[in-house]
Each structure stands twice: as structure tokens, then as C-alpha cells.
Homo-oligomer: A and B are copies of this chain.
Amino acid sequence: MKKRRLIFLTNDDGYAAKGFAAAIELVREFGDVVAVAPATPQSGRSQAITMYEPIFLELKHSEPGLEVYSFSGTPVDCVKFAFDHLLADRKVDLVVSGINHGSNSAINVLYSGTMGAAIEGSFYGCPAVGLSPTDHNPDADFEAAKEYARTIISSVLESPDDSGRPLCLNVNVPNIEREQIRGVRVCRQCRGIWREEFYRHEDPRGKPYFWLTGSYTNYEPEATDTDEWALQNGYVAVVPVQIDMTSYPQMSYLERILK
């Protein structure tokens, strides 16, 4: 009998999020599932790790083929804990992070806890997939995301990348009717940034506080090979992610001025 696959699942919205339940349903189709997800919402946590606090683990659910834990740290803490402790003597075949409530396209890959976890997962020698529909609604419909994710995950498991590079996919799904989605596009990360506004209010004792909000500026709205373009034109955007942040073109400038 063929050994069942082992899938590790996490997210950044916390174990109680609707998207996490949808992800559990989806990934169980591919094998046994161990899930370790944050105890509380951790959106925007990026690749953060918890260095100065203890982290508490709770088993939330257990049945044959499925274990769900909450962990009081960041998404990346969940991945590290799973691979370096909980599952240290087992072979994991796939990491899935999500299904997120909201887009992680373009520069959001830097801030996203969902993608932080997916990136971290890819360091452990199995493919990792972050799943994010662009719908932020807590009650979002995840059916289209599940359907496309199912195809993408199947393809990755059946035809592994043999390049020796860690495989990490940033998959974003447009918030439109499933029938209107035009297919999947492999894209590059769009250039652009967030500009923030800080709402200023006062607490009940008169102490001022600020609350971050903002809007995204696309630096290259004309380019048709970006994840932003794909989403705006009705495609599921798939960006392969790597972590070498060296700016090679700037090295000669620096060598010149730092001589």
C-alpha cells in the first residue's frame, strides 16, 4: 500500500479563521494533515519570529488523518515548531499556508504572515504554497480558491521541480465569480508600494493613538507580466518566490564609492 502523504498546514489569520477550515478540507484530499496555526490573528507579521516570549501549544482537534494545534507565536514560529520539533522525525511532502483572507500579491509578499510561513516552509525541502483570495471579508467564499489551489497543488506534487531550488508559490485568486476566472498565469512580483495614513484618535483617558491604514500604488500598471495585472484581468496569479535579496546591479556602484 502506498504511504499516505503528510501535509503541513498553517496560516496567519489563526486556527479559528474560516479560510483555515476551507484549507483543511482542501489539503485532506492530498494526505494526512498536521496543522499548527497561530492562536490569534497574525496578519502583517511577515517573516517575524518570537524571540523574547514563551510560546504555548494547544491541541485543538484530533481525528484519524488530522491534527490541529494552536501556537501562541507568529506564522513562522508555527512552521519552525512543526518541522524542528513536532514533525522532526517525519517526512513532510507539502506545506500549505492559508487560505488567507485578503491578497498577498506584489509587495504584500514582504509583509504577509501567510507568505512568511510559506517561505519558511520551503526551506525544509518540500514545496510550499501560500493561498490568498483577494477578498478580505471574514466570511469570504473560498470555493474558487480551493478549486484552483487543488489543480496547482496536484501539478506540483505530480511534477516536482528538480532544479534543487526550494519551491515556494505565492498564489492569489481574484475576487470575482468562479466562472469569470480566466485561468492561471505565472507572473513576476509587481513593483509598487503602500503609502499609509495614520488615523489619529484618543483613548478613553485622552491619550492619543494612531492606527495604520493605507493604499497601494502600482508602479507599473502597464506591465502585463505582473501578479497585479493578472488579478485585475481575471487570472489566478502564481509567483514563484525566492529569498536572495541581494541587489546585484548595485554592487559595482558600491565597489566604486567604498574603495
Contact = CB atoms under 8 A, between A and B. Distances in A.
A220 to B, nearest CB: 12
Interface string A83-121: 011000000000000000000000101110100100100
A241 B245 CA distance: 5
A239 B161 CA distance: 29
A110 B254 contact: no
A33 to B, nearest CB: 21
Q: Tell me the number of copies of this protein.
A: 2
Contact of A246 (B48, B84, B242): B242
A167 B243 contact: no
A241 B115 CA distance: 19
A203 interface: yes
Interface residues of A, number: 82
B247 A245 contact: no
Contacts of A250: 161, 163, 165, 167, 240, 242
A198 B54 CA distance: 10
A111 B101 CA distance: 23
Contacts of A44: 48-51
Interface stretch (A21-29, A60-68, A174-182, A204-212): A204-212
Contact of A238 (B49, B239, B248, B254): B254
A165 B203 CA distance: 41
Given A212-B77, A258-B186, A43 B52 contact: yes
Which 5 A-B residue pairs are closest in the complex by CB-CB distance? A242-B247, A54-B209, A240-B250, A46-B46, A240-B247
21 contacts: A43-B52, A44-B50, A47-B110, A47-B111, A49-B212, A51-B212, A57-B209, A80-B214, A85-B210, A107-B243, A109-B245, A110-B245, A152-B258, A158-B257, A163-B253, A167-B250, A186-B255, A188-B244, A189-B246, A240-B247, A242-B246
